[in-house]
Amino acid sequence: MSDFPCVDCVSATANGAHRDLTPLFDPRSIAVVGASADATKWGGDIAARLVRNEKRRDIYLVNRKGGVICGRRAYRSLSELPSAPDMVMLAVPAAAFEATLEEALGLGTRAFVAVFAGLGEAGAEGKAREVAAVQRIREAGALMIGPNCMGAADTSVAFQGVANLDIPVGSVGFISQSGAMGEEFTMRSQAANSGFSRFVTLGNQADVSIAQILWSYRDHEPTRVIAIYAEELKDGRELACAAAATVAAGKPVLLLTPGRSEASARAAHSHTGSLAPDSAVLDAVCAASGMVLVDTPAALFETTLGFLHTTSLVPGGRLPAGRRLGIVTEGGGHGGNAADCAAAAGLTVPLLGEKTMTEVRAAHEESAGSNPIDFAIGTTDPDAYARVVPALASSGEIDALLAVGQLGYWAARFAEFEDQVEAENKSARSMARAARAAGIPLVVATVYPDTSPAETLRAEGVPVYREIASATSVLGRLADHASRVPTGVPALPLPAPPLAPPANGSAGPLDYWSARGALSASGIDFVAARLVETATADELAGKAAQVAAELHFPVAVKALGLLHKSDAGGVALGLNSEAAVIRAVADMVGRLRISALTVERMAPIQDGLELIVGAKRDPRFGPVLLVGIGGLYAELLADVRTALAPIDEQVAEQLLKALRGAPLLLGARGRPQLDIGAAARAATALSCFAAAHPEVGEAEVNPLLVMTNGALALDARVILN
């Protein structure tokens, strides 16, 4: 855990994150404005759905034409209702929004579900109307989801307020900006006998935000695992805080969000007016909060299912204690592929000891191989699973179990052989219970996931997947999550006095000497250097030579006042004498017309490793730190790690050690161990600098030379926003 604690409730309460969402998830009464008799329309479907589920709350249907809808009177306006509606669902055109809103607020409505589109996502005018409406709603102490959303549900209080969807009962807390993603997740849940505690689509996220929903899910007892599809991570730092608090409360949080590609950012932009976050920043957010980032809608569902079953729902269910996977199969091909996929997911498939293998063979003598264990009899005897799994699960040699292949073969292909189907079901139940008794998570991948044995497994709390790669990917995620200690979302310090802006404007890059000074003041060690400014250019070379002699040769000379001094030929390295300095400076003066420069002692580059250490301010997540191996080659291979700033030295060391090139720091292959502590201190200092200076858009030390004793910054760059 970071020295900088998660801001958690303090700032969350201050900025309204901890809103009471009871009116949204458990309204006392609901009016559908724009209710319709046409079930293909949102106002028709939701009206019928609410009426069908009318148990714990009154449902009023409102249509300006009146008439009868769903067998009951439709009111012409909210004011005609027999009592004030606690929630109003708005299936009206955007043009009618404000009038309806005022009418409802006047009646005391506390929650709005705004289905219509055409405000925030439709240009400046719509955006302005949306902002004004939200202000009115908040002033009145009410709340709104949408516009451009599909509704919300809370199965724990029988509230079914999502268009076109029966939300099945379960333990998943679901948050989606997109209605289509919500429909897809629901379809997948139904197929897997899974369901939801709460379900919400947020559309434009104009008032209630993902972070606010997440805070409420943390405290919602029936919610065990949270799945989020987000297009716009506004208040990103707040979301990170909510995620950290939720994960800390034992509820995994999974996130799917676009942004790995430029085109996906465009797609998000077209849909809810957002810019997608950049993937390295998201990695930092997940490291800080413990949130689990997934890549596809399928992975969002499949991983949710894995967490649900192994962490929450099943008595005795738990995350794997390590990365060692045991694989059992009736088919060598499936077992081998599972081993490959497991390795790709970061798991190991260890050879098992002779004692375990003796027990496995005693249970099923045909068993071939030692992990994967191949029953070597095909599907002829479904009971093999039940016999082998107990021996393996209790071996102490594995942390999780994958049964892979054709379980459900008889049920799917030859249901007429009832004894075999019954044997498959018995075997499935028995293996599930043996794994649970041993405290080992069990996951199944089978070509036949839609069969009674698969149902039996699900009923016993075992996640069942159609694809081997789905199962191994989920198992890898579970092991990752179990081994990861979130670093916490660091609190931002009070802003330091702003840096002086560059001479030529209020923003942009600081000159090199100022940047160096600012970073040096923040605690970063720079190589010894002196500024040389003279009244006339003629004096520059002589003064530089004199300074160089004082610093000790060899020295470097860097011209000041150039944006890219190195590319412009404004840097001379390895100057060994006063004469060499004079020649180099005279040459620069002639070519570049400079009037100031620095003279710097040459750093012992051959004795160390060059890193790059940088910070940038992300518009959603605030300051973010980056560390990487220096140089063009490392840049080509993108060997970098990121963290939310500020970080402490412990987190900095973790980042450095997570670089693929970390062995270069740690002393591999006879190389000396370098001073990783000094590198971590420099990275920490830069992260604190960036966090304390909101006016800084980017700050960078490149290279930072890490030596066996100490780390020296050799260059500096600071850009103000």
Site for a second copy in 541-600 (CB under 8 A): 567
User: DSSP of 282-325, one letter per residue?
Assistant: HHHHHHHH--EEESSHHHHHHHHHHHIIIIIISTT----SSSBE
Of 184, 181, 226, 179, the C-alpha closest to 202 is 179
Question: What is the torsional sign of CA 572, 574, 578, 580?
Answer: negative
Question: Minimum CB separation from a second copy for residue 245, in Å?
Answer: 26
Question: Minimum CB separation from a second copy for residue 359, in Å?
Answer: 17
Rounded Cα–Cα distance for residues 109 and 99 (Å):
14
Rounded Cα–Cα distance for residues 208 and 110 (Å):
13
Kindly state the helix (H) or strand (E) to which residue 373 belongs, with its residue range.
strand 373-374
When the beta carbons of 201 and 430 are compared against a second copy, the nearer one is 201
Which listed range, 104-112, 217-225, 325-333, 698-706, lies at the site for a second copy (CB under 8 A)?
Answer: 325-333
Q: How many CB atoms lie within 10 A of CB 721?
A: 12
Which amino acid type is present at position 454?
A
Near a second copy by CB under 8 A: residue from 167, 239, 341, 696: 341
Question: Minimum CB separation from a second copy for residue 43, in Å?
Answer: 13
When the beta carbons of 16 and 168 are compared against a second copy, the nearer one is 168
Residues 495-534 touching a second copy, rule: CB under 8 A, are: none
Near a second copy by CB under 8 A: residue from 154, 207, 231, 399: 231
Question: Minimum CB separation from a second copy for residue 414, in Å?
Answer: 8
Question: Minimum CB separation from a second copy for residue 663, in Å?
Answer: 6
User: DSSP of 166-177, one letter per residue?
Assistant: ---EEEEEEEES
When the beta carbons of 83 and 673 are compared against a second copy, the nearer one is 673
Residues 137-196 touching a second copy, rule: CB under 8 A, are: 164, 176-181, 183-184, 187
Kindly state the helix (H) or strand (E) to which residue 62 belongs, with its residue range.
strand 58-62
Question: Minimum CB separation from a second copy for residue 333, in Å?
Answer: 3
Largest CA distance in the chain: 101
Site membership for a second copy, residue 658 (CB under 8 A) = no
**Alpha-carbon distances of 680 from 280, 462, 659, 684, rounded to whole Å:** 19, 43, 13, 6
Question: Minimum CB separation from a second copy for residue 336, in Å?
Answer: 4
When the beta carbons of 543 and 660 are compared against a second copy, the nearer one is 660
Near a second copy by CB under 8 A: residue from 72, 318, 361, 660: 660
Near a second copy by CB under 8 A: residue from 284, 342, 423, 443: 342
Place of tokens 């458990």: 26
User: DSSP of 226-287, one letter per residue?
Assistant: EEEE-S--TTHHHHHHHHHHHHHTT--EEEE---SSHHHHHHHHHHHS-PPPPHHHHHHHHH
Which listed range, 104-112, 334-342, 580-588, 687-695, lies at the site for a second copy (CB under 8 A)?
Answer: 334-342
Residues 372-431 touching a second copy, rule: CB under 8 A, are: 372, 374, 376, 378-380, 405-406, 413-414, 417, 420
Based on the number of CB atoms within 10 Å of its own CB, is 306 exposed (0-12), middle (13-18) or buried (19 or more)?
Answer: buried
When the beta carbons of 132 and 666 are compared against a second copy, the nearer one is 666
When the beta carbons of 373 and 647 are compared against a second copy, the nearer one is 373
Near a second copy by CB under 8 A: residue from 93, 333, 493, 590: 333
Six token digits for residue 718? 């600071």
Question: Minimum CB separation from a second copy for residue 379, in Å?
Answer: 8
Site membership for a second copy, residue 335 (CB under 8 A) = yes
Rounded Cα–Cα distance for residues 613 and 626 (Å):
6
Residue 711: phi and psi, rounded to 5, are: -140, 135
Question: Minimum CB separation from a second copy for residue 334, in Å?
Answer: 6
Six token digits for residue 373? 């264990």
Site membership for a second copy, residue 340 (CB under 8 A) = yes
Rounded Cα–Cα distance for residues 637 and 653 (Å):
21
When the beta carbons of 264 and 577 are compared against a second copy, the nearer one is 264
When the beta carbons of 191 and 579 are compared against a second copy, the nearer one is 191
Compose the 618-647 pattern: x for residues touching a second copy by CB under 8 A, - for all others: -----------x--xxx-xx-x--------
Of 153, 101, 154, the C-alpha closest to 129 is 101
Six token digits for residue 574? 């390895």
When the beta carbons of 182 and 317 are compared against a second copy, the nearer one is 182
Question: Minimum CB separation from a second copy for residue 83, in Å?
Answer: 33
When the beta carbons of 29 and 257 are compared against a second copy, the nearer one is 257
When the beta carbons of 341 and 647 are compared against a second copy, the nearer one is 341
Rounded Cα–Cα distance for residues 465 and 478 (Å):
15
Which listed range, 104-112, 353-361, 368-376, 475-483, lies at the site for a second copy (CB under 8 A)?
Answer: 368-376
CA 510 distance to own-chain centroid: 33
Which amino acid type is present at position 402?
L
Which listed range, 308-316, 595-603, 611-619, 668-676, lies at the site for a second copy (CB under 8 A)?
Answer: 668-676
When the beta carbons of 290 and 335 are compared against a second copy, the nearer one is 335
Question: Minimum CB separation from a second copy for residue 670, in Å?
Answer: 7
Parallel/antiparallel/unpaired status of strands 442-446 and 400-405: parallel
Residues 290-309 touching a second copy, rule: CB under 8 A, are: 295-298
Which listed range, 474-482, 532-540, 574-582, 660-668, lies at the site for a second copy (CB under 8 A)?
Answer: 660-668
Residue 586: phi and psi, rounded to 5, are: -60, -40
To 10 degrees, what angle do helices 124-139 and 97-107 make?
0
Rounded Cα–Cα distance for residues 299 and 305 (Å):
10
Residues 441-480 touching a second copy, rule: CB under 8 A, are: 447, 466-469
Residues 16-55 touching a second copy, rule: CB under 8 A, are: 40
Q: How many CB atoms lie within 10 A of CB 262?
A: 8
Question: Minimum CB separation from a second copy for residue 492, in Å?
Answer: 30
Instruction: Please tell me the number of Cα atoms within 13 Å of 247 on its side-chain side.
Output: 27
Question: Minimum CB separation from a second copy for residue 557, in Å?
Answer: 19
Of 300, 295, 206, 209, the C-alpha closest to 259 is 295
Of 369, 374, 366, 365, the C-alpha closest to 330 is 374
Q: By CB under 8 A, how many residues form the interface with a second copy? A: 91
Question: Minimum CB separation from a second copy for residue 563, in Å?
Answer: 16
When the beta carbons of 26 and 184 are compared against a second copy, the nearer one is 184
Compose the 253-292 pattern: x for residues touching a second copy by CB under 8 A, - for all others: ---x-xxxxxxxxxxxxxxx---x----------------
Question: Minimum CB separation from a second copy for residue 466, in Å?
Answer: 8
Q: Please, which residues have CB within 8 angstroms of residue 263's CB and are 6 or more apart in sequence?
A: none
Site membership for a second copy, residue 249 (CB under 8 A) = no
Place of tokens 């994967």: 372
Residues 59-118 touching a second copy, rule: CB under 8 A, are: 117
When the beta carbons of 169 and 343 are compared against a second copy, the nearer one is 343
Which SS3 state, helix, strand or coil, does residue 633 take?
A: helix
Question: Minimum CB separation from a second copy for residue 476, in Å?
Answer: 13
Structural contact between residues 677 and 653, judged by C-beta atoms closer than 8 angstroms: yes
